[in-house]
Amino acid sequence: MNDNVRAVSGVVVVLGTGGTIAGVSDTGHDRDYQAAQLGVDQLVAAVPSLAGQPLEAYQVAQVDSKDMGWPVWRALLIALDEALARPDVAGVVVTHGTDTLEETAWLLHLLLPPGKPVVLTAAMRPATSSEADGPRNLADAVRVVRWAAAAEEDAVLAVLNGRVWAGTEVRKAHSWHIDAFDGGGVPPLALVEGDQVLPTPDAVWAEPRGQLSAALIGLEALPRVEIITSHADADGSLVEALLAASNREGAKPLRGIVVACTGHGTWHQDLEAALLKARRAGVVVWRASRVARGGIESQPGETWPVAGRLTPAQARVALTVTLALRDTA
C-alpha cells in the first residue's frame, strides 16, 4: 500500500476536551446550556457519515474552554504525542470549546512534532440545538484530516463552518454567530463543500515547530504571563500591582507581560515607566495589538519585542511557552 492510500484510510483519533460542541440545554434555549456534557464517543455516534470509518475516540478532558489551563493542555499534549507516534494513525481531531481555541491552536503549533495533521473543531450551538453546528464541523474535521494526510500537509488547523483555518491565524471573531471565526485578515487555507476540500491557491501551511520535550511536559505549571491593555487613561498601576504581588512570599513569580497595545504597537505614555521597571526586574514584555486585523510588524532598532499578527491571548501562550522552553533547556 503506498503512503497516500494508508494516510487516507488510516485511523483518525478524535480527542474530546469539552466545549459547546458537547453542550446540552435543559430548557431548549441556545444561550442557556451547560458546555462539556456529552462524551466524545456520543459526538462521534451522532454523525452518521462517520459510521464505519476507522476512528478512535478518547476523552482527554471535559471542560468549558473558558477554564482552559495547563493541566488540560498537558493531558492533551500527552494524548496527541502518543496518537501521532502510531504508524496506523493518519491524524488527530480535537473537539474543543470556541472560547480559547486560538490559544490551544498556538500551543499545539509550537509544541507538536511535524508530520501529521491535527485539526481542532468546535461549535457555537450546543448539541441539543435545532441549529447544532457540531455534527457538521466534526464530520468536516475528520474529512480534512484525511485530505491533509493524503496531501502530506502537516499543520495544526481549525475547521469551523466549512472553513479551514491555519492554527497560527485562527481567532474567534464573533461572540454568538455560527460563523464566528476568521484568520485576522488572512484567508482560510481551504473550504469544505459537501465531501470536497477545496484548497485556496498559494495558501501558506505552517508546519508545527516540534518543541515538546519531556522536561516541558513534566512542568507543574507554565511561567506566569499576564496581559494588560493600553487604553485611554491607562497608567502603570496595574503593572505596579502585578510586580508587588509577584514579590509576596509564596507568590508565583511574574515572568512576562503582554501589552495589548493600541494600533501598530503603541501604548499610553503613562504606562512606560512601570513597564521599564518591570523589565528591569527581569519581566519579559511583549507587544501585541488589540486591533482585530494587521498585527504589528517589527521595525529595525526597536527595543520592545512585538508579537506579529498574534492576538494578545495567542501572544501570551507564545511567551509562556518560550519562557518554559528556556527554563527546561
The binding site for ligand ASP (CB under 6 A) comprises 19-20, 35, 64-66, 97-99, 122, 124
Output the smallest distance, CB 180 to ligand ASP, in A.
Answer: 8
Backbone region of residue 185 per phi and psi (left: phi > 0; alpha: psi in -120 to 50; beta: other values):
left
Amino acid 167 reads G
Torsions phi, psi for 262 (to 5 deg): -75, 150
* DSSP structure string for 252-288: PPEEEEEEEEBTTTB--GGGHHHHHHHHHTT-EEEEE
d(C-alpha 15, C-alpha 95), whole Å: 6
Name which of 133 and 153 has its Cβ closer to ligand ASP: 133
Q: Which phi and psi (to 5°) does residue 308 adopt?
A: 55, -130
Residue 64 has what DSSP assignment? Answer: -
Of the two residues 96 and 309, which places its CB atom closer to ligand ASP in the complex? 96
Q: How far is the CB of 20 from ligand ASP (least distance, A)?
A: 3
Catalytic (active site) residue 20: yes
Running DSSP on this structure, what letter comes out for residue 205? P
Question: Which residue in 27, 32, 92, 24 sits closest to 58, CA to CA?
Answer: 92
CB of 190 to ligand ASP, least distance (A): 22
Q: Tell me which of 20, 104, 121, 168 is the catalytic residue.
A: 20
Which amino acid does the sequence have at 242? Answer: L
CB of 63 to ligand ASP, least distance (A): 7
Closer to ligand ASP by Cβ: residue 102 or 153:
102
Q: Rank residues 93 and 148 by Cβ distance to ligand ASP and give the closer one.
A: 93
Q: List, by residue number, the catalytic residues.
A: 20
